[in-house]
Amino acid sequence: MIAPAYRVILCDLRTDQVLDILPVSDVSLDDYIGKIGTASATVPLPNRQLAARARAALETGRTAMWIERGREIWWGGIPWTADLTSNERGRLGLRIQAAGWASYLDHRAILHTQQATAVDQFDIVRGLLAYSAELAGGDIGIEWDDEQLSGTLRDRTYRRYDQPRIREVIDQLGSTEGGFEWRIASHRDPTSGRRIKQLQLGAPVIRTGETEIVLDHPGPILSYGWPIDATVRANTWQSRGASDNRNQTAESLPLMTELLVDEQQLAAGWPRLDGTSDYSTVTEPATLAAHARADLAAATDPRPIPEVTVALDRVPLSPALLGATVRVRIRDDWWAEGLDRRYRVVGLVVNPPLRGRPETAKLLLEAA
């Protein structure tokens, strides 16, 4: 089976007007729940005409890049860097590196104090995105559903004096006790054909898909990796918040939570493992305590993120699988009794076919 071809569409970031569709090679892409996906592609420049087109279409930080596989959009984001190369024969190439749409929010700061009292945490996220879009030049076309709610109300104040980055505060909001997951997905509207940057929210996690996919090894799973890692484990925790600078004559000390200790783990024989975290913009003790409890809960029972590599010509997968449940069945010398578990897909790394290499996808999994 011949794999569908990949192509890259370069557009204006603010208007999504197509600037050019350039020939590319060595396309790679990944997407995740919980961190920003990346993509890269090389534009061969065999002549002046193509070099001129590439120079006109690509302006890092201003251009949008969509990657299509066949007729479907598989990835979207912003090229932030590019590397022009020339080999010993004088052949030119332009290697483009891009990051997902959420990377734009790393470049947007809260410059006007934003305050929310007893507001659903999803509405706080949408309010921050609306604030970002309302400022001159700040609307890059991110869309969202105003009706979806998490059922968890929060009090939050983001001070202009701290100048926090918007993605950072959304990540912090989602990582607190009773939090949520978020990402900005790329897809095409099936009716209009319009390219869409869509905010996805899920509490406590993002879940998608209704049909369970079964992956077997031996079978469609070509290889797998199963981390066994205690470096992130902790059974005590203390979090540090913002410093109190109100009294200029006294020493400035940060807000601290009480020390949390998992007595059950210590009683079970575990050695004491201390964990700490910093939230330099958090000024409310209750908010800081909620962060500490969430951090300790994650550290006392850290979940490994196994990965399986599958052949795309044997299993119908796409980036839309993020958040979906798959059933993994493995039988080998390690899993002699047989592994049969369900996992949620939290990451996807696609390797298009190249010089005889089959098209594959690496799935990063979390216990469902």
Q: Tell me the DSSP string of 278-295.
A: E-TT---HHHHHHHHHHH
Please check whether residues 113 and 96 belong to one and the same domain. Answer: no
- Tokens 């550290």 identify what position? 299
Give exposure, 305-329, as e/b (b: 16+ Cβ within 10 Å).
Answer: bbbbbbebeebebbbbbbbbbbebe
* DSSP three-state, residue 229: coil
Q: Report d(CA 189, CA 208) in Å as an integer.
A: 17
Query: Is this prediction's pTM over 0.85?
Result: yes
Per-residue pLDDT at 31 exceeds 80: yes
Please check whether residues 253 and 275 belong to one and the same domain. Answer: yes
CATH code of residue 99: 2.30.300.10
State the DSSP string of 324-346.
Answer: -EEEEEE-SSTTTT-EEEEEEEE
Per-residue pLDDT at 311 exceeds 70: yes
What single-letter amino acid sits at 68?
E
The whole-number pLDDT of residue 107 equals: 98
* Residue 55: inside a domain: yes
* DSSP three-state, residue 244: coil
* Residue 207: inside a domain: no
* DSSP three-state, residue 315: coil
Bridge partners for 21 per DSSP: 9
Please check whether residues 224 and 275 belong to one and the same domain. Answer: no
What single-letter amino acid sits at 284?
E
Mean pLDDT of 271-297: 94
State phi, psi for 258 to the nearest 5 degrees. Answer: -70, 160
Local confidence band at 351 (pLDDT 50, 70, 90 cut-offs): confident
pLDDT digits (tens, 9 = 90+) for 149-188: 999 999 999 999 999 999 999 999 999 999 999 999 999 9
The whole-number pLDDT of residue 368 equals: 82
* Residue 1: inside a domain: no
Q: How many residues does the structure list for the chain? A: 368
Please check whether residues 116 and 172 belong to one and the same domain. Answer: yes
Give exposure, 196-225, as e/b (b: 16+ Cβ within 10 Å).
Answer: bbbbbbbbeebebeeeebebebeebbeebe
* Residue 265: inside a domain: yes
Tokens of 321: 């699988």
* Residue 34: inside a domain: yes
ω into 218 cis (within 30 of 0) = yes
Q: Report d(CA 360, CA 215) in Å as an integer.
A: 14
Among 104, 128, 161, the domain boundary falls at 104
105 and 36 Cβ atoms separated by less than 8 Å: no
Please check whether residues 222 and 312 belong to one and the same domain. Answer: yes
Q: How large a percentage of the chain has pLDDT more than 90? A: 82
Q: Of 85-99, 238-252, 257-271, 325-339, where does mean pLDDT reach its minimum?
A: 238-252
Contacts for 60 with CB less than 8 Å, ≥ 6 apart:
79, 80, 81, 82
Among 54, 69, 104, the domain boundary falls at 104
Q: Of 17-21, 67-71, 99-103, 108-112, where does mean pLDDT reach its minimum?
A: 67-71
* Residue 89: inside a domain: yes
Per-residue pLDDT at 1 exceeds 60: no
Residue 285 structural domain: 236-300
Q: Report d(CA 299, CA 177) in Å as an integer.
A: 13
* Residue 208: inside a domain: no
Q: In this structure, is the dihedral angle defined by the CA atoms of residues 346, 155, 276 and 160, taken in order, positive or negative?
A: positive
Which of 94, 78, 67 is closest to 4 using CA atoms? 67
What single-letter amino acid sits at 297?
A
Looking at the structure of the chain, the number of domains it has is: 4
Please check whether residues 22 and 81 belong to one and the same domain. Answer: yes
The whole-number pLDDT of residue 2 equals: 59
Please check whether residues 324 and 221 belong to one and the same domain. Answer: yes
Round the average pLDDT of the chain to a whole number and report it. Answer: 93
Per-residue pLDDT at 247 exceeds 60: no
Please check whether residues 182 and 323 belong to one and the same domain. Answer: no
* Residue 37: inside a domain: yes
Please check whether residues 265 and 160 belong to one and the same domain. Answer: no
Mean pLDDT of 71-75: 93
The whole-number pLDDT of residue 5 equals: 83
CATH code of residue 115: 3.55.50
